[in-house]
Structure formats: C-alpha cells, structure tokens
Amino acid sequence: MASFFVALAIGLTTGLILALVGGGGSILTVPALLYLLGMSIGPATTTSLVVVGANAAFGAWRVYRRNGLSVLRVDYGVALGLSGLIGTQVGNWLNHTLPAQVTLLGFALLMLAVAIPMLRPPRLETKNAEISKPGANWLKVGLIGLGLGFLTGLFGVGGGFLIVPALTLLLGFPMRQASATSLLVIFINSLSALLGRWPLDGLDWGLLAALLVGGVTGTWLGGNLGHKLADKKLRQIFAWLVVIIGVYIAWQALK
C-alpha cells in the first residue's frame, strides 16, 4: 500500500512539472522508480514512457482546449515526432544492450549539458515574430527529431528536457510556445518507443495506474498555474531542475 501512495506522489510531481515547463517529467520519473520503488532499469524506463506519454497527451489536449493552435504548433510537433521514428528504435536497441550504470551516467551528463544554455539569459525575442513552417527548416527539424527519438528510446524519456531548448535555442520559439509544442512531440516519441518494446513485459499495472492518476492530476494543476508564470521564471525552474537531478543521478551512477 505504501508503494501505491509513493507512485501516486511520483505521478503527481511528474505531471505538474511536465505541464509547467513542457518537459522534465521523466527526468524525475525514471530515478524515482529506480530509487524509491526499487525497479530495474528496463521496467523503469518502460513505465516512464507510458506515464509521460499519457501525461503529455493530456497536457497537449488541455493546451489546445485553452488556446487552440495559437500556442500549440502541430506542424512542428508532427514533423519532429515522425522524423524521430528511426532514432527511437535504435535507442531502444541500445537500452537493452548497454549496462545500466552506463545508461544512467549518460543520462545524467546529457541533462547537465542541456541545462547550461538554459541558465543563460534568454535571447531577445520579437513578440509578434512569425515562426516559419517546418519545410523552411526541414534539415534542421529532421536532425533534431532523429536525435530526440534516439534519446527517447535509449533513456526511456519523453525528451521534453531536450525538445524545449531545441525549439527555443535552435528554432527561435518563445518559451511558452515551445513548452506547449513539446508535449505533442513527447507523446509521439513515447508512443513510438513503446511500440518498439512491445509486448510490455515486467510492468506493475497497479503502480502504473497510480502513476497515471497522479500524473493526470498534476498535469491539470500545472496547466492552471503555468499561464500565471513568466517565461523567464519557467526557464529557470526547468534548468535548475535538470541540474539538481542530473548531479544526483551522476553521483548514484559513479558510486
């Protein structure tokens, strides 16, 4: 029973962070399942994909209901998701091949590398600037999507902690639009990775249900809070979260 409430709390935290910053939920989910619930790396990453994918789908739906397509860029979301299909399956293969310690250390180092540019002062953005269609950046979008898919399959994450900086720093998205669009990419990448792992062996369906209930609740709460926070504050929350969890995972992997 205690593990059920722990799973509920993990799901709540995952959904809240995912809704607030458009990513980072699985950064907490994977280590929480490993260190708090005692899962092995395989079931933990698969469970994370189910939870984060479901939370992202719910979050994207809420963004659409609230703002329509003015914030959620479906064209970029679908383009990035589809371009990552091959990368996701390659990452799945490596996930089953590499030692768990190597996977965790790589995960931690990647998180720290991503956090550094997000902690810098944001570039000045034109409030009414129009972002071009994906076709104008097809090579850049394809490479970003391929890399994001690979890392989703390898680390069992939705990739939001990479998608958000990729959209803001490489494609010029405002933070709020990047956060919303990343939810769609997370859902597509998570679904692709899960299909590549089918059948989903070793899952605890009771804990998974608790994670999903907590995640949907957290996503709903985060959706109500996110529009009240400034873009700069969201960026800082996102970056410092990545740094703290990344340092902890690196320390655990090197013990």
Q: What is the mean pLDDT of the chain?
A: 78
- pLDDT for 232 equals 65
Q: What is the DSSP letter of 166?
A: I
Angle between helices 100-119 and 41-67 (to 10 degrees): 30
CB 24 within 8 A of CB 238: yes
Residue whose C-alpha is closest to residue 222's, from 56, 49, 111, 8: 56
Query: Does residue 158 register a pLDDT over 70?
Result: no
The alpha helices in the chain, defined as continuous H runs, are 2-21, 25-35, 41-67, 74-83, 85-97, 100-119, 138-155, 160-165, 175-196, 205-226, 231-254
Cα dist. 173→92, 119, 126, 163, 177 in Å? 29, 16, 10, 11, 6
Model confidence over 20-65: pLDDT tens digits?
A: 765 556 667 777 888 888 888 778 888 888 887 887 888 788 788 8
Q: Is the pTM of this model over 0.75?
A: no
Q: From CA 94, how far away is CA 118, in angstroms rounded?
A: 28
The domain tally of the chain equals 1
Residue 147, pLDDT > 80, answer: yes
Peptide linkage before 165 cis (omega within 30 of 0): no
Lowest-pLDDT range, 14-18, 73-77, 248-252? 14-18
Residue 128 scores a pLDDT above 50: no
| DSSP three-state, residue 41 | helix
Listed residue (212, 211, 250, 228) closest to 66, CA to CA: 228
Which residues constitute the domain of residue 218?
2-254
How confident is the model at residue 124, as a pLDDT? 38
For the segment 81-115, what is each residue's pLDDT rounded down to a tens digit? Answer: 888 888 888 888 888 888 878 888 888 887 787 77
The residue ranking higher by pLDDT, 98 or 223, is 98
